Amino acid sequence: MRTASNDSTLSAPALLGCALLLILIWGSAFTMVGVGVDYLRPIWLVAYRLVIGAAFITAYVFIKGHRFPGLSDGRWVWYGCLGLTGSIIPFFLIAVGQQTVDSGLSAILVGIMPLMTIIMAHVFTDEKLNIQKFIGFLIGFAGIILLFLPENFSVGLVQNWEAQALIVSAAFFYAITTVGAKRAPDTPSSVGGAIMMMSAAIAGLIGGCLTGIPENPPLMGHLMAWGLGIGSTGIATILYLYVIEKTGPSLMARINYFVPVASVGFGVWLLDEVFEWRMAVSFVIIILGVMISRMGERRAKALDPSGPQTGY
């Protein structure tokens, strides 16, 4: 997927404002999912969210003056598949998992995605593991294991380990999408994102209809679906593409470090979720692993400047 030059044309205050807005929108998304699944079945919460988000991003494509490829173009298949792995499947897994897992913990579990991407890139791309990347992965993985252990660290798993595993699986599908996007046909990022979202929205509607159309769903369910569709799926995606175009992908890596912090804060403040010390320790361990892996990635690029140049 093509992105614009890394030359920044945003002032420092504008850059800070965009970063803070993305952190708040993405951090609150887990909170809204946690509320929404109490009123709507996960598949319909996801379907409504995707339809609204797809409408926003498609409108953005036309405003930018881009054109969609013809329906016979292979990019529809490629980005359609990325829509399944990058939107409908992980959104659904997270929604199902958040029926029993707190929003803050969910955001921390999804934070393992960059480490999964590094491992998958080693297998499917020319970006090979080095010792620093591997050490970072092991450290981050230890942070995830900590969240699956019981409070007394006895042999066994936490009571809701299945739901947590679903959310970790969502991070795996996000990693698949990241690797797939690096190998995708050259396409403007907004066009590729719109095709992904439209494909995911269609899949979500089909999946929802197969399970039965909800009759008179509560207003709160609709509000959360609209909030997710307009906010984290619509506005945030457009803002994400805008920041990438203006500054390149490196800023997005730093922004994502703060999303779990915002999510935990919203969960404690708005949903009375319990803040556990293990969440804080695990988050620090995962971020440490990601940072070490990224240093290894930058070192590999410095040693081989002609190699693939990618960013998170």
* pLDDT (tens digit per residue) in 184-205: 888 888 899 999 999 999 999 9
Q: What is the pLDDT of residue 7?
A: 46
Q: Are 147 and 35 in contact (CB under 8 A)?
A: no
Which residues are registered as beta bridge partners of 2?
188
Query: Could you tell me the pLDDT band of residue 268, with boundaries at 50, 70 and 90?
Result: very high
Give the chain's domain count: 1
Q: d(Cα 234, Cα 63) in Å, to the nearest integer?
A: 14
Q: Which of 19, 301, 266 is nearest to 133 (CA)?
A: 301
Q: What is the pLDDT of residue 83?
A: 94
Q: What are the residue ranges of helices labelled H in 100-234?
A: 103-110, 113-124, 131-148, 161-182, 189-211, 219-227
Q: Give the Å distances, CA to CA, from 120 to 9, 112, 114, 127.
A: 33, 13, 10, 9
pLDDT in tens, 74-111: 999 999 999 999 999 999 999 999 999 999 999 999 99
Listed range (104-118, 129-143, 154-168, 217-231) with the worst mean pLDDT? 154-168
- Would 47 be classed as within a structural domain? yes
- Would 193 be classed as within a structural domain? yes
Q: d(Cα 33, Cα 17) in Å, to the nearest integer?
A: 24
2 DSSP assignment: B
* HSE-up of residue 34 (Cα within 13 Å, Cβ side): 22
Q: Which residues of 107-130 are buried (b: 16+ CB within 10 A; e: fewer)?
A: bbbbbbbbbbbbbbbbeeeebebb
Please report how the helices 277-303 and 103-110 are oriented relative to each other, as an axis angle in degrees rounded to 10.
20
pLDDT in tens, 40-77: 999 999 999 999 999 999 999 999 899 999 999 999 99
Q: What is the pLDDT of residue 160?
A: 83
For the segment 293-307, the average pLDDT, to the nearest whole number, is: 59
Q: Are 253 and 311 in contact (CB under 8 A)?
A: yes
For the segment 246-265, the average pLDDT, to the nearest whole number, is: 81
- Would 185 be classed as within a structural domain? yes
* HSE-up of residue 31 (Cα within 13 Å, Cβ side): 23
Q: Are 187 and 77 in contact (CB under 8 A)?
A: no
Listed range (9-23, 175-189, 204-218) with the worst mean pLDDT? 9-23
Structure tokens at 238: 């457009």
- Would 138 be classed as within a structural domain? no
- Would 181 be classed as within a structural domain? yes
Q: Judge whether residue 21 has pLDDT over 60.
A: yes
Q: Which of 300, 83, 93 is nearest to 184 (CA)?
A: 83
- Would 296 be classed as within a structural domain? no
Residue 20, domain extent? 12-123+158-276
Of all residues in the chain, what percent are helix, strand and coil, respectively (each to 5)?
75, 0, 25
Structure tokens at 230: 């307009």
Q: What is the pLDDT of residue 81?
A: 95
- Would 294 be classed as within a structural domain? no
Query: Could you tell me the pLDDT band of residue 307, with boundaries at 50, 70 and 90?
Result: very low
Q: Judge whether residue 215 has pLDDT over 90.
A: no
- Would 135 be classed as within a structural domain? no
Q: What is the mean pLDDT of the chain?
A: 86
